[in-house]
Amino acid sequence: MSCCVIPKAKKSSSIKQLDQLRDYFDFVELEDLEKYRVLTLKNQVKKRDTIIEYEVWLQVKISYASGMYSSGHEKLLEHVCIQILEWKDKLLYFDKQKKSAQLSLFGDETTEDKPPVRPESVEEKSWSKYWSEEKKYKRKQLEKFSFFELCPLNGHTYGTYQDIDYREHLPKTNKEMIKLVKDAIIRGTTSEKGHGRFDDFWWDDEYKWMTRDGALSNYEIISRVKNLVRLYLVPYHRDRYVSVDLSYTHWIIEAKTDYRFWFDGRKINSHGHHWYEEKDLPSYELYDLEFIEWLREFFNIPYKDMISDVDILKIKVVETLESMLWYKKEEYNLLQKIRTCKNWKHLKADFMSFMKSNDLDSNGGSSGYCIDGFSSSINRDGKLPELTIKQNIYARELAGRSIDELKRSDYNDKEVIVFSIKGDEIFRLAYELTRKNIDPIQTTLFDF
């Protein structure tokens, strides 16, 4: 909607900052439009004889409370007004600004005021004077900046609104986004290091995650691409501005090319302060058979089926027990113990005895992604370790595995719980599943 939209109604606001602005401006008006509010500040045209000196006319579009702006309409208006009041003199007297460095009699610039010296005394009076002088000094250093450098109302200040819909410049289809991802992969892999974080994209494959494990399933290839790529989209020129904190310490943010959005491999995210809500931003699906075939050829990745439920269970029950051993894992050698123990109860007794004799504290937990959409979480309380294995629903459907009897995750409705086991069951499964794939050792009468 353009700035020429007829307002729904002119409503008054009770915030005191509007009255404060009226002390400095001849005309202060607030209009409530359909998508934003318009604050207009004007002063009468000033004339000297027949010459117009200048006129101050500032108009600011202010967002309604929505999305990331959830503080309430009046809070947003109040914030913008406070920012304008803070730097009003820079606006009202823009043609009479003093320079922080003045010329000497010989035309050279004199040294700027020096900051106050920190007192050696511990007296409160000395420090109060110091803080007051330092604040004045810091404030004086800001004289060289303009109103719009100190109060950047064009999208940098919290609460301001822009009526350009930048989403129109985003890719319209999955195919268009995949084309951009391909370009980032080619540019990243052919760069000097073969990876890196560049101005308009990232290709974060420093540790050769795409190729280090050899054969991968279709789902896993795309999953790794999603985690390695980032695209910065819809570039624009961001003007220089000055960030000032409450103590008047300032940082100059130089002009640069910036981006309205970034793509994390799954969805679009707003970059910086925007009025877009998450539900209003598009998502893209990179799982595409032609793209997967291109990735296999580009990285020379052989195909393999998705890991089975049984295989992921076997891996994770062993990892659960090994995680309880901490730095003693190599010394204990769980796989060798599984080979030599008569049954899972024997394994458990030996394991717990080792834990006790080495005073190993197994409390704590861990979680993380595994492979092929599987993730796991381990909770250990010293006696009853718990293991939960989940899988992404989309990955499970691609593998043709049922989700009908499985419970949805409490924390992510895109995952189902495939296994939830604890205590003795972990020892039993670790023993039985691992024994199926290792050669038994020859025993004698002395082993019993």
Domain shared by 9 and 134, yes or no: yes
pLDDT tens digits for 218-257?
A: 999 999 999 999 999 999 998 899 999 989 999 999 999 9
Domain shared by 159 and 200, yes or no: no
SS3 24: coil
- Distance between alpha carbon 82 and the CA centroid of its chain, in Å? 29
pLDDT value for 447: 45
144 belongs to a structural domain: yes
pLDDT value for 236: 92
Domain shared by 152 and 52, yes or no: yes
pLDDT tens digits for 171-197?
A: 999 999 999 999 999 999 999 999 999
113 belongs to a structural domain: no
pLDDT tens digits for 100-157?
A: 444 433 444 444 578 999 888 878 888 999 999 999 999 999 999 999 999 878 655 5
Domain C-terminal end among 163, 192, 219: 163
Largest CA distance in the chain: 120
- How many angstroms separate the CA atoms of 108 and 102, rounded? 8
Domain shared by 147 and 8, yes or no: yes
Question: Residues 393-402: what's their mean pLDDT?
Answer: 96
Domain shared by 337 and 385, yes or no: yes
Structure tokens at 284: 């893209």
Domain shared by 212 and 286, yes or no: yes
Domain shared by 148 and 188, yes or no: no
Task: Work out the mean pLDDT of the chain and round it to a whole number.
Answer: 87
pLDDT value for 363: 78
Question: Could you tell me where the beta strands, DSSP code E, fall in 299-363?
Answer: none
CB neighbour class for 37 (10 Å; exposed up to 12, middle 13-18, buried from 19): buried
β-strands 386-392, 36-42 pairing: unpaired
The domain in which residue 244 lies consists of 166-299
Domain shared by 37 and 73, yes or no: yes
pLDDT value for 24: 94
358 belongs to a structural domain: yes
CB neighbour class for 192 (10 Å; exposed up to 12, middle 13-18, buried from 19): exposed
pLDDT value for 439: 56
Question: Residues 295-324: what's their mean pLDDT?
Answer: 96
Domain shared by 43 and 58, yes or no: yes
Could you give the strand order of the β-sheet that contains 374-380, starting from the edge strand earlier in sequence?
Answer: 364-369, 374-380, 386-392, 415-422, 407-408
User: What percent of the chain has a predicted confidence (pLDDT) above 90?
Assistant: 65
Structure tokens at 225: 């691409």
Domain shared by 144 and 19, yes or no: yes
Domain shared by 57 and 199, yes or no: no
pLDDT value for 112: 54
- How many angstroms separate the CA atoms of 302 and 220, rounded? 12
pLDDT band of 158, cuts 50, 70, 90? low
pLDDT tens digits for 14-71?
A: 789 999 999 999 899 999 998 889 999 998 877 777 776 667 789 999 888 765 555 6
Structurally, how many domains does the chain consist of? 3
pLDDT score of 448 more than 70? no
pLDDT band of 275, cuts 50, 70, 90? low
pLDDT band of 321, cuts 50, 70, 90? very high
Question: Residues 373-394: what's their mean pLDDT?
Answer: 90
Question: Residues 260-277: what's their mean pLDDT?
Answer: 83
Nearest Cα to 96, choosing from 45, 139, 56, 136? Answer: 56
pLDDT band of 13, cuts 50, 70, 90? low
- How many angstroms separate the CA atoms of 262 and 268, rounded? 6
Check if the beta carbon of residue 142 is closer than 8 Å to that of residue 250.
yes
pLDDT score of 94 more than 80? no
